[in-house]
Chain A
């Protein structure tokens, strides 16, 4: 079955750039919407944005000025970059796949295990 493997540093300095990558195994990266979602400690889930296999992206209005998502279909990978980070960006970051082909409505059926990223000097 499809699995998502996340990788990236667990510690980022304030004002730096957070980068996390998700590798898809056991299935295709094409024709799906791939999202990033985060959960700060003690808080709820927050959708960051998606990248489609074509490279099309959409970001949360509250984060769009600092977010870039990209996809490398040949490597079965997609990535998140978040710039100018502060302590408020400390969170568990998840990658996730939408349930249906070519359809985006927030039904995330497959998730990575999560990457805890701490913003601290």
Chain B
């Protein structure tokens, strides 16, 4: 069974530019998560989807970050405009449901210069 796919693996952009990340969850997984992980810290939940709906986005900086999950499958996370403090690894995960085990993709390492 294929795992969670993310792209790109690495991205370097200048501040004030925009960037988008893509995630394809494990087939059949209804719940999809986007996390931001800064070096030395635990993953911070940015947004959690259940099918097409948003379960939680309380920590998503909505003035610059946006996310969508079309048709309850793939998801994209966008940052516009990027700031230096957005440099982090962006992790996508998916699970069968909100209480089920979540599995992570390889992540996207973003560097904002």
Q: Do chains A and B stick together as partners?
A: no
Give B residues with C-beta under 8 Å from A.
none
